[in-house]
Structures are given as C-alpha cells and as structure tokens.
Chains A and B, each alone.
Chain A
C-alpha cells in the first residue's frame, strides 16, 4: 500500500463516519475485524476497553445509532474526523499494510440554551493503528484508537470514533 492509497482510505472512512453513512463504513472492514479503543495501552483480555468490537458488535452499534432510541445520541453527535501524520509501515507490494496516523476529532451535540451537557465543542485526540488486508480491494482488519485521555473520565462516547 502506498501512502496515497492509505490516505485515500482513511479519508474515505472519516467522511463516511462524519456523514453518518455507517453501513458503508461497515463495508470497509473484513468479517474477522477488530475495532478497539483501549483504556490502557495493554492486554485487551485483562484490561477493560472502551470499545472492543468484532464485526457483529460493530453492526449492533450501527443498528443502535440508526434504528433505536439511543438517548445518548438524541440529538446525534456531529463529528469531524481530521486525519494526519499518515505512515505506511509495510512495503508497497505487501498483501497487508500496517498504517499509523493521528486523529483529531471534533464533536458536538447541539442543544438548546437550557440543556445541560450539549452545545459544547469537544476535542478528542488519538493515535490510530490500522491493519489493512488486500483482496479484491483493501479492507480494514484492525482499527485501534489510542486516545490521549484514554484513562480519564469521559462524558459520552456513544458515537463512532
């Protein structure tokens, strides 16, 4: 994978999330994928994670956001995923590619003047580690977000990061 290919894929993923095209976002992943947001940079079997999803749980998340009364997402988060510092760690002709990048995520839930907990821009920052595998097209097998504030209190991370 070249850096241009990696950027194109990461930008597309960011756009699909920001436009809430979650079903198309799911189609970027393999069936044996992992979507992981740890609370520590450690062992997922032994430390609780914020997100530790296989494809079934990712589909649950999308279903919950799009088709159920998920009150923590009413109103829904508006997001802007900004990707930078993209590096491809494996050679351009390898069948898989580890890609690292930075994510600066701006999030807002709009709300009226009297509402508590809405109407404020929030900034989340993470190091991203992806594993892409090549088939008919490139798919994501692993997406890991290491949030700067992974072990601090968060108010609401019920949208897709």
Chain B
C-alpha cells in the first residue's frame, strides 16, 4: 500500500517495522485497517452521508507478486508478469534460496546501511564485477592470509575461475565454483562440514556443489542476492546513493552456523567492514574522476571477444569479464531512451 492518507496526504506509518491492526493518520485522525480499508473519520458529519468510505481506503500498489518468499511490487498496472520478468534469472534465485537445506532463508538479522556521494549505477556495476577483487580487496586478502585461513595466491587463483553471465532484462551474475577456504565467506564456520552434509542430503551431491558455489546474482535495476546478504540500491539523487545489506540466515541449519555467517559478513561488509568500504571508495573515486571530461567513454568491453551465447541465451564470459555489466547498461539504455536503439538486447 502507499503510505499516504487519502485526506491530506500525510504518511500514516512512520515505523520501519512492527505490528499493528490499524494505521491512524496523525494529522486529522483518519483510521485505516491494516488491509487499507478506511474505518473511521473523526467528526464525520462534516461530509455528506452519501460519502463512500469504501472508495477512500489507502491506495494499493497496482501489482504485487511473490517468488519463493521474495515480494515484488510493480507501480504499473501493465507489463510483464513476475514469472515473465524472472525468466532467465529464476534458476539462480532458486540456487540462492536452496542454500538452506529446506529452501528457506530469513532476513531478520538487521540491516547494514551505506551511503555514498556517487551514482547508483556504480554499485550496480560493482556487484557483478569479478575483476576488481584482487586489486581493491588486496587489503582484505592480506588480512585473511595473515590469519592463516588461506593465501592471497589461492584467492586470486580462485577468482580467475568460473564465469560471468549476462541475462535478459539487464540481469546477470558472477558464477564461480565452490572455493573452500579461498572462498570468501566460509571462515570460522565450525559447523561447515555438517552444513555441507545437510545440503548433499537434501539435494544430492551435484546440485549441492552448484549451490555452494559463489553466485552474485543481480536483478536489474537494484537488487542483489549475495551469498551472505541481500543488497538493495536506493538512488536518492544522481550523486547520492544508499545501499542496504540484509544478512541472510539459513533455516534448517545449526544455530552456530548462522551466528558464524553473521560474524563473517560483518568482517567484510558494512560501513565498518574490512572490504566493502574499499569498494565504496572506488565509487567516489569514479565519481571524482569522471568530472574530468577528457573523454566521453569508459571501457566496458572486457571479454567481448571471448563471450559465447549458450543454449539458454545467456552471454557467458570468463569470471572477470564484463558481460553482466553490458547486460545491465543495455537494459538501462533501452529504458532511458525515448527512441531506444533497437529492441531489448539480445532476446527480443
């Protein structure tokens, strides 16, 4: 529902989360049920008795649909269904949900919130960028090497394996095989072996191995499904962006595993983490550098010469290539241009 009283437009709910039966507008006391129906108007004799209260409920978002517990809303009554929208990315959403052996994730462990003085697309681009990790995060890699958990050379080698995929609708992902201790988020999980066993029991060894890989899944324009968290980009102005990271907890696993996942997430992510702030520093570096109008273009062609279209229509490149960024920027261009250069690329 839209958070807007029908009378004078005041927001009727100012809490981020909680439970309530009613929303009472603080301005003139109009009361709505939690289904949005207008239940009461103070001093109702100020309106004629013919007033149709049933037409004055809170306005509903035109379309809401869910997939595996993720709720999507559309502000347009027209357009593709959620099923059509998710087409190519759906199986990767499934992989992500199935990180829980019972297929259920929860996002109930609070939120890391970042802000940065830069454009939202810098975060969009970075989240599916498999190229920067060895450079921007050298500092973090040295930290984990020093902790004796892995080596910089093992991590940098792992980051050269696997693929990136550019999908329809601007979606895309990084898709790397399971990397053991060289994978970034497995440290300090004493119950890891038990967890792997649970996944193999639930899905069989082959699918379990797929699920355990590193997949950073991007749903254009602003939703990421990461191993450790859900990330939502909120563009506030052209050069001011807020990013929200909600840690993902797995249902059906030992409690200690989720606690360890939370601690491991905090080590890298969040405004005080030892990884993510270095990414954000790159966003503001780019925002600064692009003020220099020496050339109009950035280079997004990495891997263009070696990417292939597979039988599912995915554009597949090596894991440091820029196929997902190209997919995202093509969709962005298509949506932003009054006269788009061609139909949706390349699935039209």
By a CB distance below 8 angstroms, the chain B residues around A37 are 272
Q: Which residues of B contact A114 (CB under 8 A)?
A: 288, 291
Query: Which B138-153 residues have C-beta < 8 A from chain A?
Result: 138-140, 142-143, 146-147
Stretch from B62-70, B114-122, B162-170, B306-314 forming part of the interface with A = B114-122
- Contact indicator per residue, chain A 19-41, by CB within 8 Å of chain B (1) or not (0): 00000000000000000010110
Which residues on the B side are within 8 Å of A72 (C-beta)?
277-278, 280-281
Contacts of A156 in B (CB 8 A): 271, 277, 280-281
How many whole Å from B110's CB to the nearest CB in chain A?
Answer: 4
Q: Is B56 an interface residue (CB 8 A)?
A: no
Give the chain A neighbours of B334 by CB distance below 8 A. Answer: none
Which of the residues A52, A64, A116, A153 comes within 8 Å of B143, measured between beta carbons?
A: A64
Chain B residues with CB below 8 A from A45, complex form: 259, 262
CB neighbours of A118 from chain B (8 A): 284
Beta-carbon contacts under 8 Å, A26-72 to B: 37, 39-40, 45-52, 56-57, 60-61, 63-64, 67-72
Least CB distance, B113 to chain A, in whole angstroms: 4
The answer to whether B344 has its CB under 8 Å from any CB of chain A is no
Question: Which of A52, A64, A71, A153 is close to B113, meaning CB atoms less than 8 Å apart?
Answer: A153
A48 and B114 contacting across the interface, CB-CB below 8 Å: no
Chain B nearest CB from A119 CB (Å) reads 11
Are A48 and B266 interface neighbours, CB within 8 A?
Answer: yes
Which range contains the number of B residues in contact with the other chain?
35 or more
List residues of chain B with CB within 8 A of the CB of A57: 267
Question: Considering residues A49, A116, A117, which has the most beta carbons from chain B within 10 angstroms of its beta carbon?
Answer: A116
Are the CB atoms of B114 and A115 closer together than 8 Å? no
> What is the interface of chain A mostly: helix, strand, loop, or mixed?
loop
B8 lies within 8 A of chain A by Cβ: no
With A71-B282, A116-B288 already in contact, the answer to whether A52 and B266 are too (CB < 8 A) is: yes
List of B residues within 8 angstroms of A5 by Cβ = none
Chain B minimum-CB-distance residue to A44:
B262
Q: Does chain A have a CB within 8 A of B287? A: yes
Q: Are B266 and A71 in contact (CB under 8 A)?
A: no
B136: Cβ under 8 A from any A Cβ: yes
Question: 20 pairs across A/B with beta carbons < 8 Å?
Answer: A39-B111, A39-B112, A47-B109, A48-B265, A52-B263, A60-B267, A61-B274, A64-B139, A64-B274, A68-B143, A71-B281, A72-B278, A116-B118, A116-B239, A116-B284, A116-B285, A118-B284, A156-B271, A158-B273, A158-B274
B→A interface (CB under 8 Å): 108-118, 136, 138-140, 142-143, 146-147, 239, 242-243, 247, 259, 262-263, 265-267, 270-274, 277-278, 280-282, 284-285, 287-288, 291
Interface residues of A, Cβ cutoff 8 Å to B: 37, 39-40, 45-52, 56-57, 60-61, 63-64, 67-72, 74, 114-118, 151-158, 161
